[in-house]
Homo-oligomer: A and B are copies of this chain.
Amino acid sequence: MPWDELSATDGILRQIAQRDSLQPHEVGIGDDSAVVSWNSNNMVVCSDVIVEEVHFSLRYFGYSDVGYKAISTNISDIAAMGAIPDCVLVTVAGPSYSDLDAIFLGLTTACSQYETRLIGGDLSIAAQLSISVCAIGHLVDPSSVLRRDGARAGQSIFVTGPLGRSSHSLRHLRSGGSPDLLSREDLQAHLRPQARIKEGQQALRSGVSSGIDISDGLALDLHRLADASGLGFRVESLPIAPGATEADALFGGDDYELILTTSHPKQLVDDFHAAGLLEPKFLGVTVDDRSLRTFHARPLPKIGYHHSPTTER
Contacts and interface: CB of A to CB of B under 8 A. Distances in A.
Interface stretch (A100-108, A149-157, A190-198, A279-287): A100-108
Interface string A129-142: 01010101010000
Contact of A6 (B8, B123, B126): B123
Given A20-B117, A38-B86, A136-B38, A49 B127 contact: no
Contact of A130 (B15, B33, B130): B130
Contacts of A9: 122
A122 B48 contact: yes
Contact of A128 (B13, B41, B91, B128): B128
Contacts of A11: 123
Contact of A39 (B12, B119, B123, B138): B138
A19 B123 contact: no
Interface string A1-43: 1111010110111011001100000001100011010110101
A6 B11 CA distance: 35
Interface residues of A, number: 66
A168 B123 CA distance: 25
Chain copies in the assembled complex: 2
A89 interface: yes
Interface in A265-286: none
Contact of A91 (B54, B100, B119, B132): B132
Contact of A4 (B96, B101, B310): B96
A118 interface: yes
B117 A13 contact: no
A292 interface: no
Contacts of A28: 119
A212 interface: no
22 contacts: A2-B96, A3-B96, A6-B123, A8-B123, A9-B122, A11-B123, A12-B101, A15-B104, A16-B104, A16-B107, A34-B119, A34-B120, A36-B117, A38-B43, A41-B41, A43-B136, A47-B89, A47-B91, A47-B132, A48-B122, A51-B124, A93-B130
